[in-house]
Copies of this chain bind each other. A is one copy, B any other.
Amino acid sequence: MSTARFNPIIDLSKSPHARLQPVPASAVELSDTFWEPRRHINREATITSQFQKLEESGCFDNFRRAIGRKQGDFRGPVFMDSDVYKWLEAASSTLATHPTPELEAMVETAIELIEAAQQPDGYLNTHFMFDKAKDRWRNLRDDHEMYCAGHFIQAAVAHHRATGSPRLLKVAQGVADNICATFGPIEQGKKLGTCGHPEIEMALVELYRATSEKRYLDEALFLVDMRGQNPSVCYEGQPLGLGGRYYQDHVPYRQLEEVTGHAVRMLYLAAGATDIVLETGEEALREALDKQWDNMTSKRLYITGGLGARYEGEAFGKNYELPNERAYTETCAAIASVMWNLRLLNLQPQEHYADLLEHTLYNAVLPGLSLDGAHYYYQNPLTDDGTHRRRAWFGCACCPPNVARLLAQLPGYFYSVSNQDVWVHLYAAGTLKTTLKNGQSVEFKTTTNYPWDGTVEIELASGGKFGLFLRVPGWSAAGATLLINGEAFTGEILPGTYVELNREWQAGDKVTLQIPMPVRRIFCHPYVADNLHRVALQRGPILYAIESTDVSVDVRNLVLPATADIEATPRPDLLGGVVVLSGSAITSNDSETSPLYGYSRSPQLEGDPVDFTAIPYYAWANRDASPMQVWLREM
């Protein structure tokens, strides 16, 4: 069931510098066999089970304690409230498209607690109550108060858009007004400060979009401007210097030309700064963002789309520092990257943003969730000995509700519109029913078996004059073809572009895009130490991995000849239905005979052939534990 509510992930309908705007999630119906079954599990199982986890882990009790309904100590980390808010955003976004009485009741439970916990001055944080109330806004570096506020505001805006109710939006304005009244230019009698964990920036801009109150946009810009002051304004006037890198507080933001420090903080901040550019068009900020994105994608991005190379600090490493086994690649960082790329894509519609967004969804966000929708990864290594398994919950449970909200909002990522065009970024079977800014309504149905097959058929349900921009993925080989009502399109169809079809459409018109999906070998820059003489396999948007379960040898001893044929085969029975890659590799037994260090080169490869089957990386660790590898030895 779909409602007509206006519930885009971000509302760019009035943003002066947005070239495009995402359509509301409710304008999109997915009926595909890839995403929609996952969204079904998300609605039917994940969101409910997470509600129970919030109860079990003490998140809700923290609210009850704050409002005097419960005794005892605050439970969990200082940012515990944010778990409730991310869940609430997931649940609210689900209410927009699939409301049920049960879900409404759960949401009501949360809302009632939140409303009651808000202080008279608008402040809202269940940790800083009672004896801790004196510590409010004292340690901005570590205490995550604006971070929690930001997640709440995002949830409130989502709830407002989903239901039309003003309740949570009112609370959110109180929270935001309290921040605006507390932090700002000294000339206005306010304090300097910004949060150690960015997140509030995106939220304040979205609240501005929802309310048209410009003070929220100004405050977001102020909070970005406060970064990189030395001494730091987020921690007692201490100079953080390079130690501030973790917090993106070592240089003023416009001078930050790399992605660095804690990955989720970095990426939420970049997304928030992009939101500001969408409203202000500020060139200096846009330039910094471009440099950060270039640094990320050319030096610090995993082949999965994952981000954050280091366990220590959950952080980006140096250029080319991309270890596979100790990849941190927090699921939340991948989600943050999707959020950032959505904003960039609507700011300046370039296909490489959509490429990264899609790639990250399939290969960096999705591995964070088990096929049963009830177990999660926080870290997503690219090779493992079989010991790293998904868990039902975490002490720091940021990732699970983040995955839930992304899946709930996923349809909103598929399409953007402009004044007279509709842009198709992602492909899945389903329908779109929306209206362009010029008033032209657009309705079409997509038929495809994407991501397993590259043929996408779009059939228009109504006519009109508008441009249809179809994404030709960067991963596609040359040779994509396009038919309009069975006739070949004669323009260029280049990988890594949008093909523009601009005409007076008739109801029943059919556009058929055929994107070849050969198996592609991917090679890595030689400075990435782990990947020298290694190869990864991709087909369509899906990155592959080999689990030792599927080969007769330890996958570390498998060597893929450059000439090996690799076949793609649908396996509807396997792992929820996948296309596997298979072929013949050779085994090396140098691992058995080599000492840790020796004076002679490893013996020649044995050459015994071994059959292998590679599965989508996102599906790894859903069977019995066994070693897994994305990057395969190559010869």
Scan residues 289-332 of chain A and give those whose CB is less than 8 A from a CB of chain B.
Answer: 297-299, 301, 303, 310-312, 317-318, 321, 323-326
Please name the residue on chain B nearest to A594 by beta carbon: B525
Q: Give which listed residue, B298, B525, B529, B597, contacts A530 with CB less than 8 A.
A: B529
User: Does A598 count as interface, using CB distance less than 8 angstroms?
Assistant: yes
CA distance A633 to B530 in the complex (A): 12
Measured CB to CB, the nearest residue on chain B to A556 is B527
Q: Are B633 and A602 in contact (CB under 8 A)?
A: no
Binds B, one of A74-82, A401-409, A458-466, A516-524: A516-524
Q: Complex formed: what's the CA distance from A360 to B618 in Å?
A: 42
The A560-592 residues at the B interface (CB cut-off 8 A) are 562, 588, 590-591
B324 touching A523 by the CB < 8 A rule? no
Alpha-carbon distance A209/B596, docked complex (angstroms): 37
CA distance A521 to B599 in the complex (A): 6
- A595 CB within 8 Å of chain B: yes
B633 near A523 with CB under 8 A, answer no
Kindly state whether residue A604 has any CB partner on chain B within 8 Å. no
Q: How far is the CA of A188 from the CA of B383 in the complex (A)?
A: 51
- A490 adjacent to chain B (CB < 8 Å): no
Q: Does A526 interact with chain B (Cβ within 8 Å)?
A: yes
Nearest Cβ in chain B — how far from A296, in angstroms? Answer: 10
Cα(A487)–Cα(B352), bound, Å = 76
A100 at the interface (CB under 8 A from B): no
**With an 8 A cutoff between CB atoms, is A532 at the interface?**
yes
Which listed residue (B303, B321, B523) contacts A326, Cβ 8 A?
B321
| Contact B323 A523, beta carbon cutoff 8 Å | no
Asked if A134 is at the interface of the complex by the 8 Å CB criterion, the answer is no
Partner of A597, one of B303, B527, B599: B303
Chain A, interface residues (CB within 8 Å), range? 35 or more
Q: Write the chain B residue with the least CB distance to A383.
A: B529
Roughly how many angstroms separate A299 CA and B594 CA in the complex, as a whole number? 11
Q: Which of B299, B310, B529, B595 contacts A529 (CB 8 A)?
A: B529
A158 to chain B, nearest CB (A): 34
Check A525–B318 contact: CB distance below 8 A.
no
Which residue in chain B gives the minimum CB-CB distance to A309? B326
- The answer, yes or no, to whether A601 is at the interface (CB within 8 Å) is yes
Q: Which of A523, A536, A598 has the most CB of B within 10 A?
A: A523
Q: Kindly state whether residue A385 has any CB partner on chain B within 8 Å.
A: yes
In the complex the two chains form, what is the Cα distance from A533 to B528 in whole Å? 13
Kindly report how many copies of this chain are found in the complex they form together. 2
Interchain nearest-CB distance for A262 vs B (Å): 14
Chain B residues closer than 8 Å to A602, beta-carbon distance: 523, 526
- A438 is an interface residue with CB less than 8 A from chain B: no
A591 touches B556 (CB 8 A): no
Cβ-defined contact, B532 with A596, below 8 A: no
> Do A324 and B597 form a contact, CB below 8 Å, given A310-B311, A318-B385, A385-B318?
no
Instruction: Judge whether B522 and A599 touch: CB under 8 Å.
Output: yes
Contact check, A299 vs B596: say whether CB atoms are below 8 A apart. yes
A321's nearest neighbour on chain B, judged by CB, is B325
Question: In the complex, which residue of chain B has the Cβ closest to the Cβ of A535?
Answer: B601
Would you call A324 and B596 a contact (CB within 8 A)? no
Nearest chain B residue, comparing its CB with the CB of A385: B318
Look across to chain B and name the residue whose beta carbon is closest to the beta carbon of A554. Answer: B527
The answer on a CB contact under 8 Å between A301 and B523 is no
User: Are A527 and B323 neighbours in the complex by a CB distance under 8 Å?
Assistant: no
**Contact in complex: A325, B601 (CB < 8 Å):** no
Q: Known A310-B311, A311-B310, A318-B385; judge A597-B532 contact (CB<8 A).
A: no
Set of chain B residues within 8 Å of A303, measured between Cβ atoms: 597
- Given A326-B321, A601-B562, the answer on whether A591 and B533 have CB atoms closer than 8 Å is no
Q: Are B525 and A591 in contact (CB under 8 A)?
A: yes
Q: For residue A298, which residues in chain B have a CB less than 8 angstroms away from its CB?
A: 595-596
Write out, one digit per residue, whether chain A residues 490-523 have a CB within 8 A of any chain B CB (1) or not (0): 0000000000000000000000000000001111
Write the nearest CB–CB distance from A538 to chain B, whole angstroms: 9
Closest B residue to A601 by CB, please name it: B523
Nearest CB in chain B to that of A605: its residue: B526
- B residues less than 8 Å from A321 (CB atoms): 325-326
A476 to chain B, nearest CB (A): 11
- Closest-CB distance, A396 to chain B (whole angstroms): 15
Quick one: which of B299, B383, B591 contacts A526, CB cutoff 8 A? B591
Instruction: With A323-B326, A323-B529 as known contacts, state yes or no: A523 contacts B318, CB within 8 Å.
Output: no
A594: B residues at CB distance < 8 A: 523-526
Per the bound structure, the CA–CA distance linking A414 and B599 in Å amounts to 26
27 contacts between A and B (CB under 8 A): A298-B595, A298-B596, A299-B596, A301-B596, A311-B312, A312-B312, A317-B326, A318-B385, A321-B326, A324-B529, A383-B529, A520-B599, A522-B598, A523-B594, A523-B600, A523-B602, A524-B596, A524-B597, A525-B595, A526-B588, A526-B591, A526-B594, A527-B591, A530-B530, A532-B534, A533-B533, A536-B597
Give me the 4 closest cross-chain CB pairs, A-B, nearest first: A529-B530, A311-B312, A312-B312, A525-B594
Knowing that A323-B326, A522-B598, A527-B591 are A-B contacts, what are 9 other residue pairs whose CB atoms are under 8 Å apart, sorted by A's residue number?
Answer: A303-B597, A312-B312, A318-B325, A318-B385, A323-B323, A383-B529, A522-B599, A526-B633, A533-B533
